[in-house]
Structure 1
Amino acid sequence: ILRLERPNAALPAILTDRSGMMVSPTNIKQNGANADQSPVGTGPWKLESWRNNDRFIARRNENYWRPGLPHLDGINVAIMGEPATALRSLIAGENDLATSLGPQQKLLADRSKLTTQLTHSMGMVGIYLNYGRPPLSDVRVRQALNYAIDRDAFNQAIAMGLDVPTSAIIPSEHWACDPQTASYYKYDPGKARALLAEAGFPNGIDIPMLGWSDQISMQRQEVIVTQLGRAGIRVALTPVSPSASSTMFFGSAKQGAGRMAQIAARPDPSQEYDNLFSKDAYFNAGGVELEGYRELLDATMAITDRAARKAAFAKLQRFVVETALLVPIVFNTSINVHHPRVKNFVAGLIAKPKCTTVWLDS
């Protein structure tokens, strides 16, 4: 039984994700920290084997609570860090499905006898900001960062125009998005320079940032750094692994003023806002909550009527966009490729593929 201090209309959606995953208390008692390597839950699959950074194999859970599912006898997931490698394995017939491919792989997939599925997602490329200390504690500097990004040019250069430029953290396909502020920041390096001058940086500003060191991320970051530089924002980028950049930026060290990264999606938009901007949120590096934010966030969860929630989200979205608490750049388009015999594969807005209802045409 969950007893809440106040209404939370987001809770049902939140419980459909990691927060609502059921685990065996007995398994945790017996295996402790290693319980995740021998999981016991209520999902559609049973883990058969797992090799770190290589693959895991799961078999059908005959006792799954949804009768008749899953359709497949099992899944064999090969972990491949490079999208090109994943696509080659698919073309060679070694695998049936490859997820989260890049635009470059789409060109090759389109020339093969494979099925390509494009789905807009809530997953996003952006820049986390530590606005708990100077210089990003000044809203004008944060706004300058947003005006300095040419989102359309970034989309063409990195995603061949397949991604969706944005100034907000909720995509236009989502019922909670307010189109009036979704494209709030138009590319304007002159305005960015003027804002920096108002903030006391007439000759531009130097900002240390963390990034990811993989090839795709480095390409993205090169474009971002170049665009920011044209507006007088000189970025000293430190590229490291995703996990290292997370620890360095959000952990006790609080390194860097910004962090270029992929920003994951959440099932309910109020959870997305809460995880990013609430005072005690892990992804709020500065630990600062702006005045007025809490009331706006609570209003999105206090009611269940969708139209009323949409109106509440519009106010919250405007607040976050105008105060520039983040630098959203593009929403990723999820590119998934599979053999024609794979049926009923669906990738939703939160870009987390599920194979529960997938079946193979013999």
Structure 2
Amino acid sequence: MQGGEGRILMLSDPRGLDPATLGNSAPITAVLGNALYGELMTTDDTGKVVFSMAESFDTADSGGTFTLKLKSGLVFSDGTPLNAEAVKFNWDRTKDPDVGSSYIAEASMIASIEVVDDVTLKATMTSPVAAYAQAIINSSLNWIGSPAALRAGQKSFDEHPIGAGPFTLESWTRQADIRLVRNSRYWDRPKPYLERLTIRSAVDSSQRYNTIVSGGADVAVEADWVNLDKADQAGLPTDLLPLNGGNFMTLNARRAPFNDVRARQAVSAAIDLDAFNLAAFNGTEKELPEKLFNDTSPFYSDTVLHTADKEKAQRLFDELAAEGKPVNFTFTTFPTSQGRVMAENVQTQLSSFRNVKAEVKVIDFTQVAAIRTTYDFDAVISSAFFQDPEPRLLIAFDQDSSANLSGVKDAQLSQALHTGRTATTVEARKAAYETVQKRLAEVVPVVFLARTASGIIAGKDVGGIQQYGTGSLQPEELWIKK
């Protein structure tokens, strides 16, 4: 179905249109990044790499170096070439702290880049990363902007972003509509099927669902299990991308009370995930995060991350209180209805125990970056969700990673994460991640609360719903029945 306008709801507003600073996952701004910049690579439902603007991405030395080949003839929306130099420029600048990308860790895994010819570049890694394609697919490295346009500065680029995606910017009213029109120079004709897109944010989950039902929008990027269940019951088109890991409460081991492993173990043992699912999601979560991987993953094992044990929890709370260390902390969350419900349910469950007290603090999304650099929190909602565990799992839990919010340092955990990164067989990686799961259960840097609902809800006339990575909607595939 050609033509028409698609109206899309996403979960947050962008702070700018620089591809390096957009977030490439469902709860952030992935659909906007894909619309403006297209994709070098994507994944299928199993996590297997699928090539788009990239022709291939190969390693001959188990991840020590990679050769990226682009499709020939790629151009930006202004007609200038999208070549290997442009990819190098974008990947290099993502490492620059002044750019402010949340994917600096992924970009910094590359030590150097050599442009071989117009469509070929060679990336040398700081250390071998056999599955580095996943780092590109699940980050802003998948999006290439025009170097000339980016050099003109943020203000200019936000007004006239130049990419090679299926759509180009018509107008952007901040905190309101982002209007896009079809890119006549898009490489994969006859896509996109829609002539126009209007994208806006809808943080409140009830508002998102009601807007779809009332016909006020065609597609909603969704992260709420309740909404996905209601849409299924109503017979609306939905798409749920099965992911491993999930959303968790990060416990800051850099300071009291969670610098004592017993405090972390006590909070973990106190949380009943079935009760949490019932209270937070009306029991609609399809699979609880009791294990790190879901049963469709090649890395699945029966190792349990979390077991509710009220007697153990109370014993540890009492033990700590007797030593003058009662577990009193503030749980920081974000201003979404889901974030509030999750934090408040943890608070409610802990209120049934002695010698523990949790307060809930709601902060704005703009304060997230500060938390990630200052580590000024006791406990905070965070996440690590993925199809393939690379690179997200190591970034989240390696003892030397700046993105390890918990600050827990465990040599066995880090060694296993690095083995999982460098191993070249599924069997060897599975063995490494078995150790990872055992150490996560023992040292408790986080308490997994819910699988991530990476989903899409659409109106009944919408087709072509397709996601990749960790919930990145591809707008070039969408169509609306006339």
Q: CA 1:32 to 1:117, structure 2 compared with 1: closer, same or farther past 3 Å?
A: closer
CA distance in 2, matches of 1:276, 1:308: 21
CA distance in 2, matches of 1:349, 1:3: 23
Residue 188 of structure 1: which of 297, 306, 309 is its match? 309
Q: Quick check: 1:149 aligned with 2:282?
A: no
Q: Given that residues 395 and 404 in structure 2 are in contact (C-alpha distance below 8 angstroms), is that contact kept between their aligned partners in structure 1?
A: yes
Q: Percent identity?
A: 22
Residue 456 of structure 2: which of 324, 332, 336 is its match? 336
The alpha-carbon deviation at position 90 of structure 1 amounts to 2.2
Aligned to 1:241: 364
1:57 aligns to what SS in structure 2?
strand
1:153 aligns to what SS in structure 2?
helix
The alpha-carbon deviation at position 3 of structure 1 amounts to 0.9
- Which range moved further: 74-83 or 106-115? 106-115
Q: Greater relative contact order (Cα 8 A, min sep 6): structure 1 or 2?
A: 1
Q: Given that residues 164 and 186 in structure 2 are in contact (C-alpha distance below 8 angstroms), is that contact kept between their aligned partners in structure 1?
A: yes
Residue 258 of structure 2: which of 100, 120, 136 is its match? 136
2:152 aligns to what SS in structure 1?
helix
CA distance in 2, matches of 1:338, 1:191: 45
CA distance in 1, matches of 2:369, 2:459: 39
Aligned to 1:284: 404
CA offsets per residue over residues 117-145 of structure 1, 9 Å max, x none? 44444473321121123331222221111
Aligned to 2:131: 10
CA offsets per residue over residues 13-60 of structure 1, 9 Å max, x none? 111232232122211211246535532233332222222221212223
Residue 349 of structure 2: which of 205, 222, 227 is its match? 227
Q: CA 1:24 to 1:109, structure 2 compared with 1: closer, same or farther past 3 Å?
A: same
In structure 1, what residue type is equivalent to 2:289?
T
Aligned to 1:305: 425
Aligned to 1:174: 297
List gaps (5 residues or longer) in structure 1: none
CA distance in 1, matches of 2:322, 2:141: 44
The alpha-carbon deviation at position 168 of structure 1 amounts to 4.7
Q: Given that residues 55 and 77 in structure 1 are in contact (C-alpha distance below 8 angstroms), is that contact kept between their aligned partners in structure 2?
A: yes
Residue 52 of structure 1: which of 151, 165, 174 is its match? 174
CA distance in 1, matches of 2:233, 2:123: 52
2:253 aligns to what SS in structure 1?
coil
CA distance in 1, matches of 2:428, 2:226: 41
Residue 293 of structure 1: which of 402, 413, 416 is its match? 413
1:77-226, aligned counterparts within 5 Å?
A: 77-100=199-222, 102-105=224-227, 109=231, 114-122=236-244, 124-163=246-285, 164-176=287-299, 178-181=300-303, 183-199=304-320, 201=322, 204-226=326-348
CA distance in 1, matches of 2:315, 2:202: 45
Residue 148 of structure 2: which of 26, 47, 51 is its match? 26
Q: CA 1:168 to 1:108, structure 2 compared with 1: closer, same or farther past 3 Å?
A: closer
2:187 aligns to what SS in structure 1?
coil
1:195 aligns to what SS in structure 2?
helix
The alpha-carbon deviation at position 225 of structure 1 amounts to 0.6
Q: Quick check: 1:322 aligned with 2:445?
A: no
TM-score normalised according to structure 2 size: 0.66
Q: How many residues are matched?
A: 357
Q: Given that residues 171 and 331 in structure 1 are in contact (C-alpha distance below 8 angstroms), is that contact kept between their aligned partners in structure 2?
A: no
The alpha-carbon deviation at position 148 of structure 1 amounts to 0.9
CA offsets per residue over residues 253-279 of structure 1, 9 Å max, x none? x333111x2525356413222221234
CA offsets per residue over residues 208-238 of structure 1, 9 Å max, x none? 3322244332222221111123233211222
CA distance in 2, matches of 1:265, 1:43: 26
Q: Given that residues 144 and 191 in structure 1 are in contact (C-alpha distance below 8 angstroms), is that contact kept between their aligned partners in structure 2?
A: yes
In structure 2, what residue type is equivalent to 1:139?
V
Q: Given that residues 225 and 281 in structure 2 are in contact (C-alpha distance below 8 angstroms), is that contact kept between their aligned partners in structure 1?
A: yes
- Which range moved further: 218-227 or 80-89? 80-89
Q: CA 1:90 to 1:274, structure 2 compared with 1: closer, same or farther past 3 Å?
A: same
2:190 aligns to what SS in structure 1?
coil
The alpha-carbon deviation at position 75 of structure 1 amounts to 1.9
CA distance in 2, matches of 1:323, 1:359: 48
The alpha-carbon deviation at position 324 of structure 1 amounts to 0.7
CA distance in 1, matches of 2:384, 2:411: 25
Q: Given that residues 456 and 465 in structure 2 are in contact (C-alpha distance below 8 angstroms), is that contact kept between their aligned partners in structure 1?
A: no
CA offsets per residue over residues 265-318 of structure 1, 9 Å max, x none? 356413222221234534323645322233211111212322322222222222
CA offsets per residue over residues 83-105 of structure 1, 9 Å max, x none? 22233332332321222164554
CA distance in 2, matches of 1:101, 1:287: 27
CA distance in 1, matches of 2:440, 2:469: 21
TM-score normalised according to structure 1 size: 0.86
2:452 aligns to what SS in structure 1?
strand
In structure 1, what residue type is equivalent to 2:162?
V
CA offsets per residue over residues 154-176 of structure 1, 9 Å max, x none? 11121122223214554444333
1:144 aligns to what SS in structure 2?
helix
CA distance in 2, matches of 1:158, 1:347: 25
